[in-house]
Amino acid sequence: MLLKELCIGQRAKQMLIWTDIVSLPRKQKANGNGLGSSCNEVDAFFSNPREWDGHALSPIDVQTESVLMKIVFQDPECGWHCNINTTAMISDFHQSMMSAKQRNVRVFHLGGHAGKGLSFLWNADYVAAKATEFNDDSIALILGTVSGKNGPMECAVLNACWTYETGKILRKRGMPHVVSWRGDVHDSTSQEFSERFYRALVEQSRMSLVRDYRKAFDTATGAMRYSDDRADNSQNVSGKSPFVRGKGGMNVVIEPPWQRKDVIMFQSKDGDSEPVHVWQTKGSSEPATSSSVVAAASSYEDTYAVTASTAFPMYTR
């Protein structure tokens, strides 16, 4: 789907949001090692380019996610300070990491487009017309210089599709904790997780200096799975996958698409979590499993591609 051109008014709105967020007051507070350094910081980078390698990218709403994070961190007494860049380029990332130790950056956040076999897509320029890719291992090497034993950074939140493999690379390079998505994630789901996760961290800081990222992750995903709009989620997740007749008369397991999308992981030095399904709402219709669809599918992946495209029109990252 072709995206609308970014108008001057939208660009001005982005700059206002950026200016407002970086000006959030900071509160001096002792960190976890007892030193009187500045409060804990989050560096959040959002990218929403319109084109990658000649192909139009689906529209996603990173603006809403950035505003939600702004609201979470707006209290100067919360013990956290959030730096948000809504038109992030690779050069912004480099600049941020150069001062991460001095600023006591605890969390690195990415929000935008990624894909299977594709690294996170940064803006090629501030106009956000085209995307540019930065090798996952290069990002991991840089983050490794300021995380774990080498610096204050403790957690990376990769709020984009298919970031699980990237998370594994970050873990190998020394990042203590990583939040990632195992496959596609709907835009609205990623926004909700971001708000709930950081709100949980802020609530922790009001009671203790200990930063428990796993607990914040469990709090966020638990609230998402058992909220009212997911009343039937337990059935979707734990129910048996249906068998349908595939080519050659063989039975093929068709896993419901809501078990393939919105699957989040917590990767940690203390052990990885089980996959957590936080599907928000089912599509307007049940997955198509008619004989005509199955007959047209040559493999499990083909069958899934057909059912997903017809039943789940919401945008993913």
pLDDT at 6: 29
Contacts of 57 (CB under 8 A, 6+ apart): 3, 49, 50, 51, 113, 121, 131
pLDDT of residue 191: 94
Amino acid occupying residue 93: F
The pTM of this model reads: 0.73
| 170 vs 57, residue with greater confidence | 170
* pLDDT recorded at residue 38: 62
pLDDT at 275 over 80: yes
Give the domain extent around 40.
8-225
pLDDT at residue 119, rounded to an integer: 93
Please answer whether residues 199 and 206 qualify as being in contact, where contact means their C-beta atoms are separated by less than 8 angstroms: no
Instruction: Give the mean pLDDT of 266-295.
Output: 62
For residue range 58-85, list pLDDT tens digits in order.
Answer: 889 999 999 999 999 999 989 999 999 9
pLDDT tens-digit series, residues 114-144: 998 889 999 999 888 899 999 999 999 999 9
Give burial (CB, 10 Å; 0-12/13-18/19+) of 309: exposed
Is residue 246 situated within a structural domain?
no
Compute the mean pLDDT over every residue in the chain, rounded to the nearest whole number. 76
Does 283 map to a domain?
A: no
Residue 205 inside a domain? The answer is yes
106 within some domain: yes
pLDDT of 8-25, one tens digit each? 333 333 333 333 333 333
Distances (CA, A) of 27 to 20, 206, 239: 17, 13, 48
Domain membership of residue 309 (yes or no) is: no
Across residues 108-114, what is the average pLDDT?
Answer: 96
Answer yes or no: is 301 within a domain: no
How far apart (Å, rounded) are the C-alpha atoms in residues 156 and 164? 12
Q: Which residue has the higher pLDDT, 175 or 240?
A: 175
Is 77 a member of any domain? yes
Which domain CATH number covers 156?
3.40.50
256: amino acid identity, one letter:
P
Tally the domains of the chain: 1
20-49 pLDDT per residue, tens: 333 333 444 434 433 334 689 999 999 999
* 179-194 average pLDDT score: 93
